[in-house]
Amino acid sequence: MKFALVTGGSRGIGRAICIKMADLGYNVLVNYKSNEEESKNTCLLVEKKGVKAISLKFDVSDKNQVQTVLGGFIETHPDYEIEVLINNAGIREDALLIWMKDEQWESVINTNLGGFYYVTKMVVTNMLLKKYGRIINIVSLSGLKGVPGQINYSAAKAGIIGATKALAQEIGRKGITVNAVAPGFIKTDMTEGLNEKELQLMIPLRRFGLPEEVAHVVGFLASKESAYITAEVISVNGGLYS
Ligand code: NDP
């Protein structure tokens, strides 16, 4: 049974990616941190597409949880092959450097960058054995351009971009591609408090993007046909930054 694992699949961009993976014919492992109800809702939407959905609760920033929950799941389901990994789980906690609390720095780095590291390390071994895999990391315009008030988030996302390029070179010869997708402003809970009317004036396409528009690019990179694209970062930002 072929699976796609989507971290942070309970809401927003992650949910749209789960549905896209189902469209590609994958069974989906829907990871979440605390929102069990929304994770179950994602599972229902995935199952409507005629594939299997399994909800997996673990905190990607917690090495022990990744090892026990995800590692335990992999061990007890040797016939379930995770062929696609989408590192999507992420948080932002904005503050100017002078006001930033150590905890804000640590939680954003640990969730975004640490989560990428722990989960990818857990999943990549089987991809190497099978000599096939697709790893797609959801980064951000902040990691490309740097955004004031987001030194923690910009650093974490830029870190993942560096790791994407390095890992692509490490494991390309094993048939595994590693790419990143960098959204701009996308309508989700994460951007809910932002002044969309004002911000959209800076965006050439004059609107925030939709989660499905990010998922579309993830689906493209996850497809078998994208076999010759690796170490790339594709922006989905309405022309806000290029
Ligand atoms: P949301 O806040 O809507 O959803 C976040 C998701 O991540 C939820 O499913 C949440 O689970 C999960 N999550 C958060 N922390 C953890 C954790 N420690 N372990 C496991 N799961 C976790 O975010 P978006 O959909 O907007 O963002 C998705 C990704 O896209 C993030 O990486 C974000 O940085 C990136 N991005 C988003 C942009 C935007 O404009 N929205 C722009 C650029 C990048 P739960 O429901 O249990 O809380």
Site to probe by mutation for ligand 1, drawn from 5, 15, 30, 33 as the one with most ligand atoms within 8 Å of Cβ, is 33
Give the number of the atom of ligand 1 that is nearest the alpha carbon of residue 38.
Answer: 46
- Give per-residue pLDDT as tens, 172-216: 999 999 999 999 999 999 999 999 999 999 999 999 999 999 999
153 tagged catalytic: yes
Q: What angle do CA 218, 219, 221 make, to 5 degrees?
A: 65
Range of the domain at 141: 2-236
Closest residue to atom 34 of ligand 1, CA basis:
90
Give the number of the atom of ligand 1 that is nearest the alpha carbon of residue 153.
Answer: 34
Q: What local confidence, expressed as pLDDT, does residue 65 receive?
A: 98
Q: Ligand 1 centroid to 165 CA: how many Å?
A: 22
Lining residues, ligand 1, CB within 6 Å:
7-8, 10-14, 31-35, 38, 59-61, 88-91, 111, 138, 140, 183, 185-186, 188-191
CATH number of the domain residue 189 falls in: 3.40.50.720
- The answer to whether residue 91 sits within a structural domain is yes
Among the listed residues 117, 153, 228, 241, the single catalytic one is 153
State the SS3 of 59-99. Answer: CCCCHHHHHHHHHHHHHHCCCCEEEEEEECCCCCCCECHHH
Site to probe by mutation for ligand 1, drawn from 20, 87, 88, 235 as the one with most ligand atoms within 8 Å of Cβ, is 88
Please give the average per-residue pLDDT across 70-80, as a whole number: 97
- At residue 39 the predicted structure's pLDDT band, cuts being 50, 70 and 90, is very high
- The answer to whether residue 188 sits within a structural domain is yes
CA gap 86, 214 in Å, rounded: 12
Query: Could you tell me what percent of the chain has a pLDDT over 90?
Result: 100
End-to-end CA distance of the chain: 39
Residue 131: closest CA among 219, 22, 223, 227: 227
- The answer to whether residue 27 sits within a structural domain is yes
Site to probe by mutation for ligand 1, drawn from 28, 59, 62, 91 as the one with most ligand atoms within 8 Å of Cβ, is 91
- The answer to whether residue 69 sits within a structural domain is yes
CA gap 180, 183 in Å, rounded: 10
- The answer to whether residue 135 sits within a structural domain is yes
- Give per-residue pLDDT as tens, 106-145: 999 999 999 999 999 999 999 999 999 999 999 999 999 9
| Domains contained in the chain, number | 1
Closest residue to atom 9 of ligand 1, CA basis:
8
- The answer to whether residue 242 sits within a structural domain is no
Q: What local confidence, expressed as pLDDT, does residue 66 receive?
A: 98
Give the number of the atom of ligand 1 that is nearest the alpha carbon of residue 141.
Answer: 43
Q: What local confidence, expressed as pLDDT, does residue 119 receive?
A: 99
CA distances from residue 81 to 1, 2, 130 in whole angstroms, order as listed: 6, 5, 9
Please give the average per-residue pLDDT across 22-26, as a whole number: 98
Please give the average per-residue pLDDT across 39-52, as a whole number: 98
Taking each helix axis as running N to C, give the angle between helix 211-222 and helix 12-23, from 0 to 180 degrees, rounded to the nearest 10. Answer: 40
Q: What local confidence, expressed as pLDDT, does residue 36 receive?
A: 98
Q: What local confidence, expressed as pLDDT, does residue 183 receive?
A: 98
